[in-house]
Amino acid sequence: MTEIKTPDGTAISSLCFGCMQFGDKAGEAASREMYRACREAGINFFDTAHAYTDGTSENWLGRFAAEERDAVVIASKAAFKTGSGRTALRESLDTSRKRLDQDVIDIYYLHRWDDETPLEETFETLAEMQRDGAIRHIGVSNFAAWQVMKAQAVAARFDTRIDILQPMYNLVKRQAEVEILPMAMAEGIAVVPYSPLGGGLLTGKYRAGGQGRITENEMYSARYAQEWMHNAAADLAALGRQMRVDPATLAVAWAARHRGVTAPIISARDVEQLRPSLDAISFGMDDELYERITALTPTPPPATDRLEEAQ
């Protein structure tokens, strides 16, 4: 596995902070406070994207990190809508570097699979960016396992590789366990999953009448619509009350506990909301608790769907 480090040679932290809320639910002061809280907690890994908040996310992250650039890893993603062709990638990268005010982006993800552009064009361009020193590591987000392996084979032709993946993964969205996580472990690819709290579902706030992405956003509402998911969130909240641990801490620590996971991406709208996720850094989850939480949701069947092989 390619080891991902900060420019000054420090290993990346066990959690990554996602800056999607910068300029949306979080104003500049709250965003800066969250950045500082993450740094104080030992987080040195920050994630943003060309598509986030019309560039505000990248602008603010670049500003916050400017005085300690060599001490942090900054990841961004290519433009979501324009595809992965040569011109689109170069324009997207140039825009992101200007917003971040950085010559080099440590990790540069393809934000989605683009079935209209030949992989050869995409990875030749990414390899050129890497050789030019504009990006350090290549990543992909929202790819299926077969797409990763197909892209990896093409990347090898240009003497480069995919070093890191960004799939969705949490207690009620465990599909990554079927192929993505085993593939990544076998191939030495880092995995930095997003949504460890399931759009806030696993904080337990929705059963208590709270508001958030699931009640305000149609995409998240559809993603977490099934009743069993809400029941699992209620069970996790009950376990948290028994243990006197915030369910968000348990949810993030559970996602981080999988041996194929490098660093779950946490996020929030302010420091108060962020604290329980930060607490997962120092929370010790033993095998018994991990198995107890895992049992709250169905384990997805193996890729062959031969259930007898899952025993």
C-alpha–C-alpha distance, residues 291 and 295, integer Å? 6
Q: What is the pLDDT of residues 63-97, one digit of tens each?
A: 999 999 999 999 999 988 999 999 999 999 999 99
Q: What is the pLDDT of residues 41-64, one digit of tens each?
A: 999 999 999 999 999 999 999 999
Domain for residue 128, yes or no?
yes
Domain for residue 41, yes or no?
yes
Domain for residue 211, yes or no?
no
Domain for residue 81, yes or no?
yes
Q: What is the pLDDT of residue 20?
A: 97
Above pLDDT 90, what percent of the chain?
Answer: 89
Q: Which domain holds residue 2?
A: 1-166
Q: What is the pLDDT of residues 189-233, one digit of tens each?
A: 999 999 999 999 999 888 777 777 888 888 888 999 899 999 999
33 Cβ neighbours under 8 A, 6+ residues apart: 270, 271
CB atoms within 10 A of CB 45: 25
Dihedrals phi, psi of 196, to nearest 5 degrees: -65, -20
- Residues composing the chain: 311
Domain for residue 195, yes or no?
no
Q: 154: domain CATH number?
A: 3.20.20.100
* Residue 26, beta-bridge partner list: 22
Q: Residues 155-176: what's their mean pLDDT?
A: 98
Domain for residue 34, yes or no?
yes
Which amino acid, one-letter code, is at 203?
T
C-alpha–C-alpha distance, residues 262 and 254, integer Å? 12
Contact status, residue 113 vs residue 142, Cβ threshold 8 Å: yes
pTM for this model (two decimals): 0.96
CB atoms within 10 A of CB 149: 14
Domain for residue 203, yes or no?
no
Question: What's the domain count of the chain?
Answer: 1
Residue 176 binned pLDDT confidence (cut-offs 50, 70, 90): very high
Domain for residue 74, yes or no?
yes
Q: What is the pLDDT of residue 311?
A: 59
Q: What is the pLDDT of residues 236-275, one digit of tens each?
A: 999 999 999 999 999 999 999 999 999 999 999 999 999 9
Closest Cα partner for 176 from 141, 220, 131, 126? 141
Q: What is the pLDDT of residues 90-122, one digit of tens each?
A: 999 999 999 999 999 999 999 999 999 999 999
Residue 289 binned pLDDT confidence (cut-offs 50, 70, 90): very high
Q: What is the pLDDT of residues 5-29, one digit of tens each?
A: 999 999 999 999 999 999 999 999 9
